[in-house]
Amino acid sequence: MKAYVFPGQGAQFSGMGKDLFQQSEVAKNMFAKANEILGFDIASIMFEGSDEELKQTKVTQPAIFIHSTVLAACLGERFQPDMVAGHSLGEFSALVANKTLTFESGLALVHQRAMAMQKACEAEPSTMAAILGLDDAIVEEICANTSGTVVAANYNCPGQLVISGALAAVHAACESLTQAGAKRAMVLQVGGAFHSPLMEPARAELAAAIERTAFAQPICPVYQNVTASAVIDPAQIKENLIAQLTAPVRWTQTMQQMIADGSSEVIEVGPGKVLQGLFKKVDRAFPVSSASLDEVL
């Protein structure tokens, strides 16, 4: 069974999607639609923009979503997923891939998500930090015993967990985690505390937009970040997507569950190869690859 997975924020690069645009009419049409929905020329920023321009939240999230969904669409009949999943933002790409959302409604939600998260980030100084080489339970316990808001946010792979919260609390937790034996406790250059209670204002704002959006019956299960399990009920998918902004990304558990449920190979669709590397940390021998332009044209 083929599992298709979609990357999240951080996978962007200047020039992303330009090859697709130049060689595929499907891509040209989707980029034109994207510019229209967003109200600015995101295609030009993706193709020619600087790293700084691509780091703007209002650009980063739609850019990664557009690259992933355009590539999946360009695969045409070759794109036959048995299961899908996406890391954080990538879950929206996965929901377009399995036909729960249209490209247009997915992009509109991603745009609203980006703007709502940006607003929440500006409300309180906050950050995230990558913790390497400690058991998840130890990280969770130290976060729980640190004063202020700091929580486990991204379970990326065994031995790699990202924490998220208020600036002072994250720095304090990093000190405690280093003392507890973490190989590294590294504060990340991110806009704010994603997947933490500090995203509650953004969650409430996005919830209203999600409730107004039509969710169709998917063609295959999506393994959602909140549950790390296969979901096919549109109402449940909607509920989990609303919860996602303040809940942890259970990616380690998602990968393990997809393999346990019979996935025979994983294909990453979108910029970069981060998710392939994470699957290899779960099972070194597991077959992983990228959806490539060669398959499209």
- Which residues are known to be catalytic? 88, 195
- Bridge-partner residues for 3, per DSSP? 83, 266
Cα–Cα distances in angstroms (integers) from residue 44 to residues 7, 18, 30, 64, 187, in the given order: 21, 9, 14, 14, 31
Instruction: Please provide residue 266's backbone torsions phi and psi, each rounded to the nearest 5 degrees.
Output: -120, 130
Residue type, 250: R
Q: What is the spatial distance between Cα 62 and Cα 232, in angstroms, rounded to a whole number?
A: 25
| Other beta carbons within 10 Å of 277 | 13
